[in-house]
Amino acid sequence: MSSQRVLIPAEKIQARIAELGAEIDRDYPTGPVYLVGVLKGAVMFMADLARAMKTPARLEFVVIASYGKGKTSSGEARLIKDLDHPIEGFDVIVVEDIVDTGITLTYLMQVLRQRNPKSLRIASLLDKPSRRQRPVTVDYRGFEVPDQFLVGYGLDFSEDYRNLKDVCVLDG
């Protein structure tokens, strides 16, 4: 039986998101900024980050399938749900819950770059650089996390735990 313990409590997550929202406001004073959330993990962060920003934001979502993902991620990625609107000429921030190997974002950034956005950056609540297989730079990073299996605040294990308010470590 798995047990979970809190790694990043809800209040700390929300305080950090407020800072990130203010940073984005400073960087994009006029907007609109397209926030591109990667389902499903990013949904909580996307909702809170968008509301932490004063700059007008437009919300888009993509779904990316990765092959060979269980508790560890490996292999390649494929877009199975595309953007609903063109992003050409717009400022775009990709919103992720976590960057692990970097395979998902390396693929997505390459896809989005071909759409000719005005700018393209990455916001990720969590960053696990110790697991990186492909170089990915996170422009707006919430927290650097150790190499432990994390759940909560969007992150799942077999679809469970996504609605926890805290980011937790799953033990056992």
The catalytic residues are 100
37 binds ligand PRP per the rule CB under 6 A = no
The stretch near ligand PRP (CB under 6 A) out of 9-17, 37-45, 48-56, 84-92 is: 37-45
Element (H, E) at 92: strand 91-99
4 binds ligand PRP per the rule CB under 6 A = no
The stretch near ligand PRP (CB under 6 A) out of 1-9, 11-19, 92-100, 110-118 is: 92-100
In the list 16, 27, 47, 66, the residue contacting ligand PRP (rule: CB under 6 A) is 66
Is residue 142 classed as helix, strand or coil in its secondary structure? strand
In the list 103, 109, 112, 167, the residue contacting ligand PRP (rule: CB under 6 A) is 103
60 binds ligand PRP per the rule CB under 6 A = no
What is the 3-class SS of 32-47, one letter each residue?
CEEEEEEECCCHHHHH
Nearest to ligand PRP of 58, 69 (CB atom) = 69
69 binds ligand PRP per the rule CB under 6 A = yes
Pick left, alpha or beta for residue 24 (phi over 0 → left; psi -120 to 50 → alpha; otherwise beta).
alpha
Distance CA 60, CA 92 (A): 10
141 binds ligand PRP per the rule CB under 6 A = no
- With 0-12 / 13-18 / 19 or more C-beta atoms within 10 angstroms meaning exposed / middle / buried, residue 16 is middle
Nearest to ligand PRP of 78, 118 (CB atom) = 78
101 binds ligand PRP per the rule CB under 6 A = yes
Q: How far is CA 129 from CA 102, 137, 146, in A?
A: 9, 10, 8
Closest CA to 148 of 168, 120, 121, 118: 168
# of chain residues touching ligand PRP (CB under 6 A):
17
Residues that bind ligand PRP (CB under 6 A): 38-41, 66, 69, 73, 96-104, 156
